[in-house]
Each structure stands twice: as C-alpha cells, then as structure tokens.
Structure 1
Amino acid sequence: MKTSIIPIFIPHIGCPYRCVFCNQWRITGRRGVPDGNAVARTIKEYVTSAAEKRHWEVAFYGGSFTAIPMALQEELLAPAYEALQQGRIQAIRCSTRPDCIDEEILSRLKRYGLSTVELGVQSMDDAVLARAKRGHTAQDVVTATALLREHGFTVGHQLMPGLPGEDWNSLQDTTAAICRLQPDIARIYPVVVIADTELADMYRQGDYTPLSVHEGVLRAAYMKQAFVEAGIQCIRTGLQATEDLDDPAQVLAGAYAPAMGEMVDTRRYRILLFRLLDEAVRQDSVVVSYNRRDTSRVRGYGGSTVKQAKMCYAVPIQWKEDAALPEGTIGVTCRNAAWQIDVNTGTIYTK
C-alpha cells in the first residue's frame, strides 16, 4: 500500500533561534499559522481526494514542533489523533530541535499517538553548529536520540552538508557520528542560500562560499552511501521543489536542483560501478544489467553514466534491463567472469 504524507507546515513557530540559513517561508512555500480546524480540513481534503486506499501519515513540518506553546501543540494534534483513532490516517510525525526533547514532551506526543520524531541535526561538528547559530550541540543530538529510542519512537535525523565552516573532514566526522547513532531514517539537505537570511548577507559580503550543485551532489552522495550501508533509510535528498525555490530571485546560490535525489543516486551507483569496471575491463566487451526500476540510477541522470563510460573505457559496453536482478543490484558480465554489486552494502560479489 502506498504511503502518502499529509503535510502541516508550521514555519518559524516555537524556534528560539534564527539559524543563518533559515527562511522557512521560502523553503516550505507556505505562510501563516494553522489551527486545529485547518489541520482537520487538510486531513479531510487529502484522504477524500485519493482514488485508492493509502497509508496516510500526518506530518508537522517546517518549525520546532515541540517548542511551540503546549496549548497550540495540543490543538494541532487533537484532530490528527481523532483521525488516527477513526482509522482515516495511520500515523503522525513531527520535526523538532534536538534541544526541545524531554520526558514530559515525549509523554505528551505519545498520548496523542505520534510515532515518529525527526530531529534537525544539520551537523555533528560543534564549531559548525555554532557558526550556523543553531543554539544546540552535538551532545544534544545524542541525548535526544537516546530519549526517543527509550520511549519507542521512530527516530529521524535531518542533515545539512555545506554549512559555514564545514570541510570534508567535518562532513566525514558528522557522517560517522550519525552512523553510530543509528537513526531509523535520515534526510539530507545540501545548503541553499535563500533570500532574506543571514547566510545570504554572508554570501554577498564574500564571507561564505556556497556549494555548487556538483559539490552538493558529491557530499550528499557520500553521506547517503554511508547511511544505507549502515542500515539507515535515507528518505529524501535535497529540498522539495516549490515555486519560491524555483525563483532565482529567492535562491541566490548553493546546491539546489529539483532532481537532486536522482543526481545523488547517479553518483552513488556510478562510483561503485566504475570501481569494478576499473578492475574488470580489459579487452572484452561488457554487459551492465540492472532492474528496470534502477534504470536511471545505473545509466545516470540524463544518461550521464553511459556517456562517461564511453569516454573512460575503450571496450563496448551494453546496457540492459534484467528482471531477475533485485532493485539495488548491478550485474557486470565479461566473457569469462561475472559480478554483482549490492549498492546498499557497497559489496561486490563474484558470480
């Protein structure tokens, strides 16, 4: 059954800090503060408009949900909980800050049927967090993750590669720290410079060099590959496209591309495939096979991997779909040898 999200956006509500990168109005494309009636209407609109039965999840996004006044939290949660009890939706989730989690907060969330909490982690480098004016530390992430696990919640971490002060060593340390913490899910949002933020001022003044789309893909691909190999489900890479984000007057620079997720998977699959081809390709022709669902990942965004392979290898390469291969597996066959690459573990097997 297809899982679908019913998003409830609460931008800039409850957060005690203004991070240098943050303009939630632009990111979410939504303005205004919802109330309980708005939540009830939104749930009804989504559920009644679907032609087929779905697994519906109400998600409170865009702010620091557990930091908003308790009365408003309960007003927003009440209609979602009612829909959950009635079986019209199947789950409730929220996003919040790592330093806005405690025993009382989690007890209240459980009372209203909420089962997943995503933490805005961004980085596990305290120097990077300080420069971003996050107002929390890496230890807050560790503590919040442990509390959420203790109370039986599904735990999500949201990461933001490319913040001021981050280099590859910092990125690698953050990635390793998240793998040790083992959240259930992760989202990766390479930094985008959005109008009307402090980061935009830093960029204009020459105090911040933003990631290019290419560099954002490299960093996100590194993180995602490490996460999937550690058994962490990566459910999104890159910001969801909105009318504001597609406006060049609003997105000034940085790693924003509507197809960021596909570009990141192209990079992950290509690294593993070319690693094998570098060792295996001699004078024989090669057949690269894959499940139909992996076609764009293996052949590359816009056919980029096929094109690059023609430039890198002198032998002919045939690309073909193979229904017998499971998704996430690449088959490579030469005249006298055959291999399979498990992209989700980074392992190469000889057949």
Structure 2
Amino acid sequence: MQTSIIPIFIPHIGCPHRCVFCNQWQITGHRGVPSPDEVRRLIASYTASARTPRRWEVAFYGGSFTAIPVEIQEGLLQPAHEALMAGTIDGIRCSTRPDCITPAILERLQGYGLTCVELGVQSMDDDVLTKARRGHTAGDVVAATELLRQYGFTVGHQLMPGLPGEDWDSLVRTTDAICRLQPDLARIYPVAVLTGTDLADSWRAGCYHALTIHEGVVRAAYMKQRFLEQGINCIRTGLQATEDLDDDTQVLAGAYTPAMGELVDTRRYGRQLLSFLRSLPAGPGITICYNRRDTSRVRGYRNVTVKTARWSLPHRLTWRQDEVPVGHIRVCQGRTSYDLDVNSKTGPTMI
C-alpha cells in the first residue's frame, strides 16, 4: 500500500547552531511554529483528500525537532499521537541533529508513538563539519545511530554533498562511513547557496566555489548508487521544490534544480546501460526492455541516454516498455538476453 507523508514544518528554533548553509524558512517554504490545532487540521485535510486507501505518516521536518523546547514538542506530538491511536494515521517521524539524541529524548518520542528519526548528518568528515559550523562531529552521528538502533527506531541519514572543504576523497569517505553505519534510509541534498546565509557571503567573496548542477548530479549519483548497493533505501535526492527555491533571487548558486532526482537516476541508469552496450559485439540489433515506471530513468532525462546511444554506438537499438521488474533492464541481442540490475553491484547476468 502506498505511504503518503503529512509534512509539518518546524522553523529554526531550539537549534544551538547556525550552519553556514542554513536559511531554514527558504528550504521549507514555511514560517512560524504551527499550533496543535493546525496540526490537527493538516492531518484531517490530508487524510480526507485521499481517493484511494494508503498509509499516512506525520513527519516533523524543517528544524531540529528534539532540540526545541519540550512543551512545544509535546504540543505538536499530541495531536499526531491522537490520530495514530484513532487509526487515522499509521506512523510519526521527525528529523533532528545527531547531538540532540539521548535516552530521555527517545523515551519521550516513543511515548508519543514516533518510530522513525532522521539525522541531519550532512558529512562524516570532521573538517567539513567544522567549516559548515554544524556543531557536531562524525562521532556524534555514530553514537546517535547506535542509540536509535538500541531503542528500535528506524534510522534515516540526511547528507549534503558540496559543503565547504569537501573534495572527492572526502565524499568517498563520507559515503563509506554511511555504508558501514547502515541506516534504513537516506536523503541526499546537494548544496544550494541561499540568500541570507553565511555561505552566500563566502560565495560572493569568492571564498566558496559552489557546485554546478552537473557536479551535484555526479556526487549525488555516486552516493545513491553506493547506498542502494548496500541495501540503504535512498528516498530523496535534491531539495523539494518550493516557490522560494524556484526564485533565482533566493537561490544564488549551487546544485539546485527541481529535476535533480531525475537527473541523478538518468546518470546512474545511463552509465551502467551504455557501459554494458559498449561491451556487446556488433551484429544483430539490440532490444532494450524496461518497466513503464522506469521509462525516464532508462531513456534518460529528455531522452539523453537514447540520443547518446544513437551517436556513440554502432548497434541498431530498439527501446521498449515490457514486463520487467522496476530497477532492472533487459538487454536482448539475437537469442541472448541479459538482466541488468541497476541497483546492485552484481553486474549483468545472462538469462
């Protein structure tokens, strides 16, 4: 059954640090702390609008939830807990900082029925974390992840490639460290330079070189591929589009585009498919079969993979939707067929 999120956005309150990239209201597109009654109304509005049965989860996003005053936390959690007990929703989750996780905090969250906590990890390189003024270390991430596991929570990690001081080696080390920690899920948000942030000042002064969209796609695609190969569910790549983020006076530079997720999957699928096609001998034409849901990933954003294959390969190619599992590509040449599992490191197998 489909799971849908009821997002409750919390502003930047309670957080003890101001990171160089942070302008939280622009990221969320919301200002002000919602009241418990507003939470109730949002839950009622979302659940009443569904035309088909689904699982509903309330998610407290946008701030360091466990760092805000306890009375505000409990005021927000209470209507969600009421809806959970009534069977109106099926789960509650929040996002917070790695250094704002303690046994007492987790016991409070459990008391309100919360089962999933996402940590704003950003990087596992302490030098990068220091330059970003995160106020926590990679060791805090390890400790928080272990404690969440002990209490039986689903664990999420949020990563931000492109922070000051990060190079490719740093990105690889961060990716390796996350793979060792094995969170249940991950989100990847390549850095966007927002007006009103210290990062924007550094960018204007020429002290910080922002990622291009292409560079953001390359880094995010590398991380996502590694995570999926390790069984870590990557549930989002790139910031959710909002009116503020789509305003080019607010996003000054960096790897922001509403199409980030599609571009990342285009790169992942395209690199693997084209590499395999280049290994096939010349001869009979090749048919590339894929699930309907994978059409844009296999063919590429704006058909870029189809176009690249057309001018760079000697083969006569046919592209076709078929009964193929999602995440797989079937490549047929003559009487031989291969299965390419894009999210696995096993490589193509003959079928």
Q: CA deviation at 1:336?
A: 5.3
Question: What are the Cα deviations for residues 160-187 of structure 1, in whole angstroms up to 9, with x where unaligned?
Answer: 0010111111111101110110000000
**Counterpart-to-counterpart distance in 2, 1:333 and 1:56:** 41
Count residues with an aligned counterpart: 350
Tell me the alpha carbon deviations over residues 231-287 of structure 1, each in whole angstroms, 9 at most, x when there is no partner: 000000000000000000000011111111111111100111122112114244221
1:78 aligned partner: 78
Report what 1:23 is aligned to: 23
Distance 1:165 1:283 in 2: 49
Q: What residue in structure 2 maps to residue 339 of structure 1?
A: 338
1:158 corresponding residue in structure 2: 158
* Counterpart amino acid of residue 151 in structure 2: H
Aligned equivalent of 2:327: 328
Superposition pairs of residues 89-108 of structure 1, within 5 angstroms:
89-108=89-108
TM normalised by structure 1 equals 0.98
Matches within 5 A, 1:106-121: 106-121=106-121
The answer to whether residue 246 in structure 2 is matched with residue 256 in structure 1 is no
Using the TM superposition, give the Cα deviation of residue 63 of structure 1 relative to its aligned residue in structure 2, in angstroms. 0.3
Unaligned runs of 5+ in 1: none
Cα deviation, 1:17-49, whole Å, max 9, x if unaligned, reads 010001011111101111212211211111122
After superposition, residues 291-306 of structure 1 pair within 5 angstroms as: 291-306=291-306
Q: Kindly state the Cα deviation for residue 51 of structure 1 after the two structures are TM-superposed.
A: 2.4
Residue 124 of structure 2 corresponds to residue 124 of structure 1: yes
Cα distance 1:131–1:281, how it changes in 2: closer, same or farther (>3 A)? farther
1:335 is displaced (CA, Å) by: 2.6
Any runs of at least 4 consecutive aligned residues in structure 1 with deviations exceeding 6 A, and if so which? Answer: none
Q: Trace 1:22-61 onto structure 2 (pairs within 5 A).
A: 22-61=22-61
What is the Cα deviation at residue 317 of structure 1?
A: 1.1
Comparing 337-346 with 62-71, greater Cα deviation is found at 337-346
Distance 2:326 2:283 in 1: 29
Q: d(CA) in 1 for partners of 2:105 and 2:315?
A: 61
Letter in 2 for 1:104: A
Task: Note if 1:286 corresponds to 2:286.
Answer: yes
Give the stretch that moved more between structures: 242-251 or 289-298.
289-298
Which residue is equivalent to 1:9?
A: 9
Deviation at 1:339, TM superposition (A): 1.3
CA distance in 1, matches of 2:15, 2:123: 18
Once the two structures are TM-superposed, the CA of residue 350 in structure 1 deviates from its matched residue by 1.6
* Distance change (3 Å), C-alpha of 1:272 and 1:6: same
CA shift in 2, pair 1:282/1:22, >3 Å: same
1:192 match: 192
1:129-184, Cα deviation, whole Å (9 max, x unpaired): 00000000000000000000000000000000010111111111101110110000
Q: Distance in 1 between matches of 2:314 and 2:21?
A: 46
TM-score with structure 2 length normalisation?
0.98
Q: Distance in 1 between matches of 2:171 and 2:268?
A: 17
Letter of the 1:328 partner, please give it: G
Aligned-pair RMSD on alpha carbons? 1.0
The alignment partner of 2:261 has SS state of helix
Corresponding residue number in structure 1 for 2:319: 319
**After the TM superposition, which of the residue ranges 187-196 and 277-286 deviates more from structure 2?**
277-286
Q: Report the counterpart of residue 66 of structure 2 in structure 1.
A: 66
Runs (5+) with no aligned partner, structure 2? none
